Amino acid sequence: MSLPSSSQSRGISEARQFYVDLAAHASMVGAYSFVSEDDERLYHFLERQRQITSECTVDDVVLDSDDPSNSERGHLLIDVPSPWHAAISLCDESRTWLSGRYGGLCQPLIFRGQSDSRWSITTSFERRSELASQFKESWIYTFVDLVERVLNTPAHIMMELPFSGDLLAFHDPLRTSGPGEKAHHVATAQHFGIPTPFLDFTTDPSVAVWFACKDADTVRAPLASVFAVPLLYLGTQAGLLFPHPYVGRLYRQRGMVVVASGKALRSISVEVRFPPDPSFRVHRDPHALKPVLLPREQVPPSADRDWRHAPWPQRPLQFQVDGEVDLLPEDPWWTQLAGIARDLVEHGRLDELKEADYSRLHEFIGELALLPQFMRVDHKAILVKQSAIDLMQMLLTLTTELRGTEVHVLRNLIYFCASANAKGLRAMLPIMREVLEACPENSPLFLAATPMLEAIDSCLRDPRLPK
Paired sense of beta strands 239-241 and 255-259, if any: antiparallel
Check residue 366 and give its pLDDT: 67
Q: How many CA atoms lie within 13 A of 276 on its CB side?
A: 25
- State the burial class of residue 258 (Cβ atoms within 10 Å of its Cβ: 0-12, 13-18, 19+): buried
Radius of gyration of the chain (CA): 23
Distance CA 431, CA 392 (A): 10
Which residues on adjacent β-strands are paired with residue 225? Answer: 114, 273
The pLDDT of residue 301 is 45
pLDDT at 413: 95
Element (H, E) at 201: strand 199-202
Following DSSP, what letter does each residue of 422-445 receive, concatenated? Answer: HHHHHHHHHHHHHHHHTS-TTSHH
Look up residue 367 and give its amino acid: E
List, as own/partner pairs, every contact residues 377-380 make where C-beta atoms lie below 8 angstroms and the sequence separation is at least 24, other chains included.
Answer: 377/162, 377/163, 377/164, 378/162, 379/164, 380/164, 380/166, 380/167
pLDDT of residue 143: 92
Q: Which residues have C-beta within 8 Å of that of residue 284, sequence separation ≥ 6?
A: 23, 28, 320, 323, 325
Distance (Å, whole) CA 323 – CA 320: 6
| Strand pairing report for 76-79 and 270-274 | parallel
Cβ 399 vs Cβ 452: under 8 Å: yes
The Cα 405–Cα 228 span in angstroms is 26
pLDDT for the residue numbered 416? 92
Q: From CA 329, how far away is CA 251, in angstroms rounded?
A: 11
User: Helix 133-151 crosses helix 179-190 at what angle (to 10 degrees)?
Assistant: 110
Pairing of β 27-29 and β 32-34: antiparallel
Query: According to the model, what pLDDT value does residue 149 have?
Result: 79
For 50, counting Cβ atoms within 10 Å of its Cβ (0-12 exposed, 13-18 middle, 19+ buried), the class is exposed
> How many angstroms separate the CA atoms of 278 and 209, rounded?
10
Instruction: Report residue 50 CA to chain centroid gap.
Output: 27
Q: What is the pLDDT of residue 329?
A: 85
Nearest CA-CA partner of 55 in 18, 28, 25: 18
CB contact at 8 A, 208 and 112: yes
**With a cut of 50, which residues of the chain have pLDDT below it?**
65-73, 155-156, 158-164, 172-177, 179, 291-321
What predicted TM-score, i.e. pTM, was given to this entire model? 0.86
Residue 232 DSSP one-character state? G
pLDDT of residue 409: 96
Q: Dump pLDDT digits (tens) for 141-200.
A: 999 888 887 776 654 454 444 444 555 555 544 344 454 567 888 889 989 989 888 999
Q: Is the distance from CB of 293 to CB of 315 less than 8 angstroms?
A: yes
